[in-house]
Structure 1
Amino acid sequence: GKALHDALQKTWEKETRKLQIYGVLKARKGEPLALQLWDNMGSSVYVTGEMVQEASNQPTAVEKLRQQIEKMGATPFALADLDVQADENIYVGISNLNQIRRDAAEALEQAMLKKTKRKNMERGEAPRQAKEPRLLKKKLHVLVSNLEQLDAAVKQKGVERIYVESTMELEEHLADVIAKCRRYDVACYAALPRVDRERPEDESRLQRFLESDLDGFLVRSAGQFGAVKNSGKKITADYNLNVVNREAVLFWQEQGADNVCLSVENNLQEIRAMADSSCEMVVYGYLPLMTTQQCPIGNFAGEKHSGQYCKKRWNQDLYFLRDRKGEKFPLMTDCERCVCSILNGKPLFALKFYDEVLDNAVGSVRLNFTKEGPARVERIVRAYAEMTKDTAHCSAETRALLQQMSEKGSTKGHFFRGVE
């Protein structure tokens, strides 16, 4: 009896830390899939999904419908009771079910936040039993674009490694930067330039880096890889080296990469199929859509003439490109090399679905910082550090960030694209 009692006790304890909610799922032929969720405190939401189809061969079983909707994973909820009202012989895609579950849980969370700012919304502090703890334990790495960001990130508990973009600033303060990282017990890597322009300055800088006490390099081209391969320092192959499948991961590992960062184009299913513990994945950042030597700032605002730098060189103002829908895309200049990255207007922000995102074998996750100020860097690193340590732990500060990001808009990236 004791073993059974303990097992029951565990499931009971696990569930009671989550808010009990109730639901009705309607799957009627020719109508949109509909899910209603409510709690005991008077909050209720109703969301609809895609049309329910007639099954051509394999009908979706009621059990399957129930199973997908009950997966409340990273949410603060547990479904105490779900009433499934389904027609015979219907087909509902799993991605449709996942989507409606996510939408409804998010809507209910918003409804409750509006209704109550009370303390009881905070999720229980005790960690849940993870499916496979081995899969969920990740190391936190941070990429910074300047030393101000480095100062903000290096002090945060939980950061294991910092990649610093290869700038003049880094070269000038190299000894200090390395000493600071050592003081906080953080590994320090130089991130080599995204666009190789074969400049003598970059060559001599790399030489200094190779002779320094840097721990390693983040490498963004095959040429760079060759140049640091026998340095005795650690090497991370960045995601732009076309790391889109298991073969690519193995290829760079055979070349001598200690870590391989997976392409930001991959969805979670693909990541599960290709990752191992030496892999890293990007879980935050305004990602570059393209990097160009035709810098829009130089061409439009800086009166650029061929062969010389423009008047706006080193200008720190925030410039944006605006598309015809009015979306704004921040511009990130590298005035030293006279190239410009056009960044996504919304940041990739994976905390909302962190349980699902971390459910794979990668050994580390990475935050990319571009235009963020130091206070922002600090907030984001803190939230990710807290939830990387334990996805069930979500402080009031992190909740506020989640809330703010959902109002401001962020992207789930490609993680949920085409995932069945």
Structure 2
Amino acid sequence: MKGPRGTQDLLPGVTEKWQYVEAKLKDLSARYNYHEIRTPIFEHTELFQRGVGDTTDIVQKEMYTFTDKGDRSITLRPEGTASVVRSFVQHKLFGLANQPTKLFYIGPMFRYERPQQGRMRQFVQFGVEALGSEDPAMDAEVIALAMNAYRELGLQSLKLVINSLGDTESRNNHRQALIDHFSPVKEELCSDCQSRLEKNPLRILDCKKDRDHPAMGTAPSILEFLNDYSRNYFEQVQAYLDAMGIAYVVDKNLVRGLDYYNHTAFEIMSDAEGFGAITTLSGGGRYNGLVQDLGGPETPGIGFALSIERLRMALEAENVELPIDQSLDCFVIALGDEAKVKAAAITEQLRQAGMQTDKDYLDRKMKAQFKAADRLKARFVLVLGEEELENNVIAVKNMESGEQENVAIDQITSYIEGII
């Protein structure tokens, strides 16, 4: 039997790299004072219909939805923001004394789409959400965190693209302009774009099928319709990014694929050679109306999410080697039945003292056990035979220097600790 299409098994040797990346992301989040939240892997389907939007590809085509035994419609979460905001509202986190509420998450998401490199049906997302502030400096902070997540892991070929989607007034004016622009060529657009024209024409600009249509290049830009407030807000975000020394490109055609975005939108892309046709690593933006849509009080928010799979693709494209230490502190070799019993006790003693320790469980000859220790990159090999037992010592070999000496069994832990 094989795993379902679009899923993967992360095996030893690979999981250590994931653990390293996740630890780095958690450490970075802590430095920005974001705290971890863990939400259910499945939610009521209505959450994503209301939170993500009925016109999105996610809701229309990609969700894993099923009816449970209570005849309720349940969906495996396709993204993290809606779940985090639902939890924020349900547990009244808006009432906490410390505001804004700054949260991060890491976990599996599920989308039914064609599997390809860096795009799986089950994938792992890291994301942050900052709820309760409408300060442009918060937008810049979230973007800075996203950029530093990649930089601290060693990526250099990065491109930050930003845009403003404006407030409700600006969006409504732009929406009508898009309808007027695309209506004459409606029949030339794909079926998805034809249905989006009245419901959410902004999504047409994000279409992969029609991106080469002449009407795309002449479509009215949201930047032309920003009112004074939206224009000033976007200028302030740029001023903060400039002050932080974060380079960016303003792309008037950048839109996000989810319905809840307004004001700042951004994507981070890889410019690494050979990365692939889909260069986007992560994206995010502001969503000031989402909390209200999910039953909460008027609360502004901004966040982003990145795929761990695509991050690892970018690391490989730039030949970044993560500093993973897969060595073993000690490997214990025992020769003889009595020595095996004592070796088990010593192995457990070293482990309880905090040292990575293993021993032979296949009853191999000493030469084969030394080879096993070498494959495991053991720093020290401890050999216990009949002669060592009689003298109450254990032979310790430093595998790097080749030096060997006998150490009293009751002092072995402090001896190894002193060297390590």
Q: Structure 1 length normalisation: TM-score? A: 0.24
The structure where helix makes up a greater share of residues is 2
Q: Structure 2 length normalisation: TM-score? A: 0.24
